[in-house]
Structure 1
């Protein structure tokens, strides 16, 4: 897992950009915008089912890569991803592991990331979209896309992380 987790995190960061580019016509329409967050799905699944060394360090590195590659503004994802690792660990510690629990954790994490990202960009006047437009045109479609991706990837990723972490569940 020492090598698979960081490689998977980097791959999912790149896949988010690749999918956004390939499906730009579908993802970015005048009345809706979908932000691919497959790296969050990878991170949540790894935290829930894998044995990850130094998850906060990897969150900081992934946030830095995201900020440099996608936004050009160092800071937003650099600060948000370690918070997401903390929230995920906190929620998962108090809940019984199941598909629904992981789905809800991912829903909360993507909501927090997308909303904080919007809030930071709104505060620095990088966007002027109203909160109601953001919720209806960005947050909703983003959650739908990423949760659909989680539904598709849940069982293969769960099996992958359990296999390579030595956690075999019944």
Structure 2
């Protein structure tokens, strides 16, 4: 029996996407984070969503927990928000997947729903623990909208390469 390459590519790609998110935020900090706008790159969510549709990943919740914990420890220093949110988003994506046939538009809409929900829940957690005092209207116009626009553009660019890689390595 042949072992599928996705077993190795999925965790590697997931962690590369996670650290690429941080690298993009660091390199383009002057453009991503201004007085009025805050753009959050969510490439690791793109990797998770695409894997639900186009790959047969073993133990996806383990990897979701691992990447969430890594994000919490590496970027925020608070264990909890991403540790809980990434597996939750994976679960919701799998539920939504069961109702649709994969296509560019379906995957795009589910990805945008996931980003919106993920970002909104992360905002809500930060409000609860007192890390932010931005109003909901300010958050939607200054963070959620630009984040969705940026990640939409990234999705359009990376959809075919990631889909091809996942389908090829899942065989």
Shorter-chain TM band: over 0.9
What is the number of equivalent residue pairs in this alignment? 166
Q: Distance in 2 between matches of 1:141 and 1:97?
A: 26
- Give the secondary structure class of the aligned counterpart of 2:41: coil
Report the CA distance between 1:46 and its aligned residue. Answer: 1.1
Normalising by structure 1, we get a TM-score of 0.96
Report the CA distance between 1:133 and its aligned residue. Answer: 0.2
Determine whether 1:16 maps to 2:44.
no
Report the CA distance between 1:143 and its aligned residue. Answer: 0.5
- Tell me the alpha carbon deviations over residues 26-76 of structure 1, each in whole angstroms, 9 at most, x when there is no partner: 100111000011000111111110010011110000000010111111000
Determine whether 1:29 maps to 2:34.
yes
| Structure 2: unaligned runs, 5 residues or longer | 1-5
Q: Distance in 1 between matches of 2:86 and 2:18?
A: 13
Normalising by structure 2, we get a TM-score of 0.96
Q: Distance in 2 between matches of 1:30 and 1:60?
A: 33
Report the CA distance between 1:93 and its aligned residue. Answer: 1.0
Q: Specify the alignment match of 1:126 in structure 2.
A: 131
Determine whether 1:55 maps to 2:60.
yes
Q: Which runs of 4+ in 1 moved over 4 A?
A: none
Q: Specify the alignment match of 1:78 in structure 2.
A: 83
Report the CA distance between 1:96 and its aligned residue. Answer: 1.3
- Give the secondary structure class of the aligned counterpart of 1:125: coil
Please, which of 111, 128, 153 is the counterpart of residue 158 of structure 2?
153
- Give the secondary structure class of the aligned counterpart of 1:126: coil
Determine whether 1:66 maps to 2:71.
yes
Q: Distance in 1 between matches of 2:12 and 2:101?
A: 28
- Give the secondary structure class of the aligned counterpart of 2:98: helix
